[in-house]
């Protein structure tokens, strides 16, 4: 059932979407050479490579539970210019033996020229789109699966698409789409087109369970109904790719109750965030985030009333 609160969530998201880059930023980009942004980490017998798709502006107007002043204070305390904060958009390549899988696929052309860098960075790892055998979709938002399609065709011709069944149920529901209004139609259309294009290669899952050897789907609902993390276990190592548990890490680690307009169910998103933060602190589990500053891997520790992140050590070659 869709409540008014759910719809307000998606409506707020649409007005806050930072689709267009600032002119000054575009000029700065064109002046500097763009180096590959791909960082490979070893998790037991597997390799996980963080791939940058770019970054997007998320200002205080997109958040609930904090005002502009509180946002600015959190940023300034952490040496970030509040007007200039941009959240990363990361995807992750998992290599297990000869198998190559992607957790999410970036924005493609869905969100403007500041983003859509995933394919270039994937290429820098020596991986071709044809090599990818599975896309593990954390959810069906455009910054996670927009890059899986180009119009009506698949970017990854040999990949199965694994996703939580609750995502399909939500995004393909005509009544929900109608209630969400014209301003949110793009979210629904994009999700539907991805499901369409990968039609004969869809691998829906529901609940917690193994989706590939050593990779366990962990439902983390709230941001979207089927929002899911992927836990990788190999040898003594583990990594939880928790996707969109944080959108504005400098704010939401300090204030985990702060939600974002993109949350379909903000209360559930905040409760899920509180639970998983507790759990990764207790278990000392390494995490990777879709919107945490690239490469987005690290550990979480308690800090005062909230949390802080210790970035993963740079993986120097042995
Ligand atoms: Zn996202």
Q: How far is the CA of 103 from the centre of ligand 1 (A)?
A: 12
Within a domain: 317: no
User: Any idea what the CATH number is for the domain that residue 110 is in?
Assistant: 3.60.15.10
Q: How far is the CA of 267 from the centre of ligand 1 (A)?
A: 17
- Domain residues for the domain of 97 are 4-14+37-311
Confidence bin at 318 (pLDDT 50/70/90):
confident
Query: Does residue 196 form part of some domain?
Result: yes
pLDDT per position as a tens digit, 124-162: 999 999 999 999 999 999 999 999 999 899 999 999 999
* pLDDT tens-place string over residues 55-79: 999 999 999 999 999 999 999 999 9
Q: Tell me how many domains the chain contains.
A: 1
Output the pLDDT for position 227. 98
The predicted-structure confidence for 186-212, as pLDDT tens digits, reads as follows 999 999 999 999 999 999 999 999 999
In a domain, 138, yes or no: yes
Beta-carbon contacts of residue 17 (< 8 Å; ≥ 6 apart): 111
Residue 151 is assigned to a structural domain of this protein: yes
Q: Quick check: is 161 in a domain?
A: yes
Query: Does residue 11 carry a pLDDT above 90?
Result: no
Judged against a pLDDT cut of 80, whether residue 9 lies above it is answered with: no
Report H helices in 146-184: 165-171, 174-180
First-to-final CA distance of the chain: 53
Phi, psi of 114 (to 5 degrees): -75, -15
Ligand 1 centroid – CA 214 distance (Å) = 24
Q: Residue 31 domain-assigned?
A: no
Does some domain include residue 26? no
The Å distance, Cα 85 to ligand 1 centre, comes to 16
pLDDT band at 112 (very low <50, low <70, confident <90, very high): confident
How many angstroms separate the alpha carbon of residue 244 from the centre of ligand 1?
Answer: 5
């Amino acid at each position: 059932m869709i409540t008014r609160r759910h719809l307000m969530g998606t409506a707020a998201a649409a007005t806050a979407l930072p689709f267009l880059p600032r002119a000054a930023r575009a000029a700065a980009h064109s002046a500097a050479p763009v180096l590959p942004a791909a960082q490979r980490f070893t998790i037991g017998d597997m390799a996980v490579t963080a791939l940058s798709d770019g970054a997007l502006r998320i200002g205080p107007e997109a958040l609930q539970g904090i005002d502009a002043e509180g946002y600015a204070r959190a940023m300034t305390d952490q040496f970030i210019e509040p007007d200039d904060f941009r959240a990363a958009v990361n995807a992750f390549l998992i290599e297990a033996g000869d198998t190559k899988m992607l957790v999410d696929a970036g924005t493609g052309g869905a969100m403007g020229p500041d983003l859509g860098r995933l394919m270039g960075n994937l290429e820098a790892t020596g991986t071709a789109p044809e090599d990818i055998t599975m896309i593990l979709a954390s959810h069906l938002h455009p910054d996670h699966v927009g890059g899986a399609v180009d119009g009506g065709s698949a970017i990854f011709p040999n990949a199965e698409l694994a996703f939580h069944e609750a995502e399909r149920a939500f995004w393909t529901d005509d009544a929900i789409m109608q209630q969400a209004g014209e301003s949110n139609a793009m979210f629904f259309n994009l999700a539907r087109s991805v499901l369409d294009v990968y039609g004969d290669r869809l691998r829906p899952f529901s609940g917690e369970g193994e989706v590939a050897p050593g990779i366990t789907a962990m439902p983390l609902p709230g941001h979207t109904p089927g929002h899911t993390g992927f836990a990788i276990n190999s040898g003594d190592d583990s990594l939880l790719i928790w996707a969109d548990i944080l959108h504005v890490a400098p704010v939401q680690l300090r204030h985990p109750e702060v939600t974002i307009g993109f949350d379909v169910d903000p209360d559930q998103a905040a409760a899920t965030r509180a639970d998983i933060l507790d759990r990764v602190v207790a278990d000392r589990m390494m995490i990777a985030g879709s919107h945490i500053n690239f490469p987005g891997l690290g550990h979480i520790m308690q800090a005062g009333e909230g949390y802080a992140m210790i970035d993963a050590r740079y993986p120097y070659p042995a």
